[in-house]
Amino acid sequence: MLQLKSKQQLSEFLRGDNVGFVPTMGALHVGHVSLIKQATAANDCVIVSIFVNPLQFDNSSDLQKYPNTLPNDINVLLELGVDAVYLPQYADLYPEGDNVKQIVAGPAAQFFEGEARPGHFDGMLTVVHRLLKQVNPSHAYFGEKDAQQLCLVKQLVDDFALPVEIVGCRLVRDADGLAVSSRNVRLSTAARHAALSLPQALRAGSQQFESGVVDASVLVQKMMSTLDSSEICLRYCAIVDDRTFAELKNEVRVPARAIIAAEVGGVHLLDNQLL
């Protein structure tokens, strides 16, 4: 596996036409592994990037807390048979320094995570756009756990007519049902136990939908009634159109997704389930 530590080294890397790309911020976990395995199964060449993008952190303390596990990440990528890892410096992606003209996310970014984390999606789309232009893959892989991000990246590709197929990959859960996230390591034992009510709430809403209930307000109320822990500070709980991320407040028609986010033990967690 080649370690490409600059934009120049990336441009000199011969990668062919069938290229799978998995952009990450490191701290690789089984969710990332599932994306990479899907990419390696479908492409002749796979590139993974590791770059902690400061533009998508609205809180500098969150940026400082983000785990740096690069040696372990490199070992994971070696075991998975990745062809190259792109490790850009800030100047490789943002040669203009601090005067970055960011992409402004559209209406799909105004609520939920966009409201909870101002500027997050602008920064995310800016770095994804630049990475896609530099790597020039045929396929790029994103997890459904960050469903709003996935929706916005698909819109980005359409808006800029980028020649890449965005592949959404199923959310991965730990054995206890909690959605896999690099943030989970910051949960205390009590907080992790409380956090399990998030996937439980989603299952309750999904089961009610499968039983024939299509009133969004009833489904949301069912989910919220499952969140009974004093450890949980709910940020949002809603049903959205899976194509536009517009909130559905009346009749639910597929494709729709139940989404939820909460602060649990001081850690921001999000989860979702396709209905």
Domain boundary among 169, 204, 227: 169
Catalytic residue among 32, 129, 139, 268: 32
User: Model confidence over 83-95: pLDDT tens digits?
Assistant: 999 999 999 999 9
Question: Do residues 240 and 248 touch, judged by C-beta distance below 8 A?
Answer: yes
Q: Specify whether 41 is located in the same domain as 160.
A: yes
User: CA-to-CA distance for 113 and 266, rounded, in angstroms?
Assistant: 16
Same domain, 245 and 115: no
- Based on the fold, state whether residues 125 and 235 are members of the same structural domain: no
One domain for residues 211 and 121? no
Q: Which domain holds residue 49?
A: 2-169
pLDDT tens per residue across span 132-143: 999 999 999 999
Predicted confidence (pLDDT) at residue 162 exceeds the cutoff of 90: yes
Q: Residue 65 above 90 pLDDT?
A: no
Residue-level pLDDT at 66: 84
Report whether pLDDT(67) > 90: no
List, in order, residues 6 or more apart from 254 with CB less than 8 Å away.
242, 275
What pLDDT is recorded for position 117?
A: 85
Q: Count other Cβ atoms within 10 Å, centred on residue 230.
A: 6
Higher pLDDT, residue 64 or 247:
247
Average pLDDT, integer, range 28-41: 96
Non-local (6+) Cβ contacts of 243 within 8 A are: 151, 255
Question: Mean pLDDT across the chain, nearest whole number?
Answer: 95
Same domain for 22 and 144, yes or no, is yes
- Same domain assignment for residues 124 and 18: yes
Residue-wise pLDDT for 107-124, tens only, equals 999 999 999 888 999 999
Last residue within a domain, chosen from 145, 169, 193: 169
Q: Is 174 within a domain?
A: no
Note whether 198 and 243 are same-domain residues: yes
Assigned token pair, 75: 């070992």
pLDDT at 118: 87
Residue 20 lies in a domain: yes
176 assigned to some structural domain: no
Q: Same domain for 124 and 226?
A: no
**How much of the chain, in percent, has pLDDT values that exceed 70?**
100
Q: What is the pLDDT of residues 207-219, one digit of tens each?
A: 999 999 999 999 9
Secondary structure (3-state) at 124: helix
Q: Do 145 and 209 fall within a single domain? A: no
Judge if 31 and 86 occupy the same domain.
yes
Domain count, the chain: 2
* Contact between 251 and 216 (Cβ < 8 Å): yes
CATH number of the domain where residue 215 is located: 3.30.1300.10
Does residue 275 lie in a domain region?
A: no
By CB atoms closer than 10 A (0-12, 13-18, 19+), residue 70 is middle
pLDDT in tens, 220-258: 999 999 987 788 999 999 999 999 999 999 999 999 999
Tokens at 92, concatenated: 């490789």
pLDDT at 135: 98
CB distance 96 to 51 below 8 Å: no
The residue from 136, 169, 202 where one domain ends is 169
Residue 173 burial (10 A CB sphere; 0-12, 13-18, 19+): middle
Active site residue 29: no
Domain assignment of residue 175, yes or no? no
Which pLDDT belongs to residue 272?
Answer: 98
Q: Which CATH number do you get for residue 117?
A: 3.40.50.620
Same domain, 158 and 207: no
Q: Residues 165, 190: one domain? A: no
